[in-house]
Structure 1
Amino acid sequence: MEVRVVKKEEIPQVSQFVEETMKSVFPFPLSEMSKRDLTDMDSLFLAKEKATFIAAFDHDAVVGTIAVRPYDDRIASIKGRYKADDTCEIIKCYVEAKRRQQGIGSLLFAEAERYCAEVGYRIMYLHTHHFLPGGLFFWKKKGFITVLDEGGEMETVHLEKRVPVGE
């Protein structure tokens, strides 16, 4: 198992994995923003400062992903909570269904957390949904605390965690 930053030539393979996984777990069509994260992965993550896209590979097959980007204060329900210069957003954390509960998500998150500390983030923000398999349990196990549980049709839960410094 190799966990590392995605290379430019791997973008099509990684994008296909993420898109297929998202379609299998989300009960609604992918948003334009989610699609753009995949089609513009190079400019949005690989070539952008304080952003990265990480994948887990097993014999050259993608089995998991996670990404980090600066948080842009776009979500109305938590608008103004975070400072742009020290808060990142953790997104696109997915593990192949048959490979869940094998530590791959933990390996991916450890690498993302290390990256966050390295580039100077102080707070990691993410949102998940109650309907995502194991999502909320996983993030709470990793030390994230609930900031807001919106409930409703989208079942969105907003979470945050301080980036460990000097560990």
Structure 2
Amino acid sequence: MRDYSIRAAGPDDLDGARAVMLDTVYRDFGSGYVPRWHGDIIDPATAYLVPERHTLLVALDPHSGEVVATGALDSRGPAHPPNPRHVAERYPSGRTAQLRRVYVRPEHRRRGLARRLVAELTEFAVAEGGYRSVYLHTDPAVPGAEAFWRSLGKLVHDEREDPEGASGVLHFEIPMGR
């Protein structure tokens, strides 16, 4: 197993992080870049480096130094719409640490990177204070996503069970300090 390093992203890491994120939304999600969903990908500094209580982590390949994985956290809870009202009310902005962009390049998967990123992000949320929960949503159509998040947290809402027009998104809570 390679000895990847994980650190808070700095300005020199942003191009590599952006490349991992864009590759993921095109390859794994099939949606490509959608401005209303992915604006933080284009400007990760404004989304994660500038605001207090936000962070962007990167994992670096020990041989090349290349960014091979990302994980971010911000203080914005899920908005309604598009998320169900009861989910947005349960996870209000300011008190919710939302995990975002936990992405690993395919050739670096199954080595514990995503799990390590999530652990460091939840530790960040605890250290920052003021957060009462860690939340995320995921698309179960992405291979491995549902099983991975179920192994780390509690499913709080499955939109596949909603009548009429559900997007199929899964909403999870991750234990604090995991």
TM-score, normalised on structure 1? 0.89
1:119 and 2:128 matched? yes
Q: In the aligned structure 2, how far is the partner of 1:162 from the partner of 1:108?
A: 14
Are the counterparts in 2 of residues 69 and 88 from structure 1 also a CA contact under 8 Å?
Answer: yes
Q: In the aligned structure 2, how far is the partner of 1:131 from the partner of 1:27?
A: 10
Q: In the aligned structure 1, how far is the partner of 2:27 from the partner of 2:78?
A: 28
Pairs within 5 Å for 1:78-97: 78-97=87-106
What secondary structure is seen at the aligned counterpart in 1 of 2:159? strand
Q: In the aligned structure 1, how far is the partner of 2:78 from the partner of 2:13?
A: 29
Letter of the aligned partner of 2:79 in structure 1?
R
Q: In the aligned structure 2, how far is the partner of 1:88 from the partner of 1:153?
A: 24
Q: In the aligned structure 2, how far is the partner of 1:35 from the partner of 1:146?
A: 24
1:156 and 2:169 matched? yes
Percent identical among aligned pairs is 25
What is the root-mean-square deviation of aligned Cα atoms in Å? 1.8
Q: 2:71 aligns with which of 66, 69, 83?
A: 66
Deviations 1:17-76 (A, max 9, x none): 110122101132332134310222111100111100101001311111110001244133
1:7 and 2:20 matched? no
Q: In the aligned structure 1, how far is the partner of 2:47 from the partner of 2:169?
A: 24
In structure 2, the gaps of 5 or more residues are none
What corresponds to 2:34 in structure 1? 31
May I ask how many residue pairs the two structures share in their alignment? Answer: 164
Q: Which range is displaced more, 110-119 or 146-155?
A: 146-155
Q: In the aligned structure 2, how far is the partner of 1:30 from the partner of 1:81?
A: 28
Are the counterparts in 1 of residues 55 and 72 from structure 2 also a CA contact under 8 Å?
Answer: yes
Q: In the aligned structure 2, how far is the partner of 1:108 from the partner of 1:149?
A: 24
What corresponds to 2:52 in structure 1? 49
Sort the Cα spacing of 1:86 and 1:153 in 2 relative to 1 into closer, same or farther, 3 A.
closer
Q: In the aligned structure 1, how far is the partner of 2:102 from the partner of 2:78?
A: 20
What secondary structure is seen at the aligned counterpart in 1 of 2:89? coil
Letter of the aligned partner of 2:168 in structure 1?
E
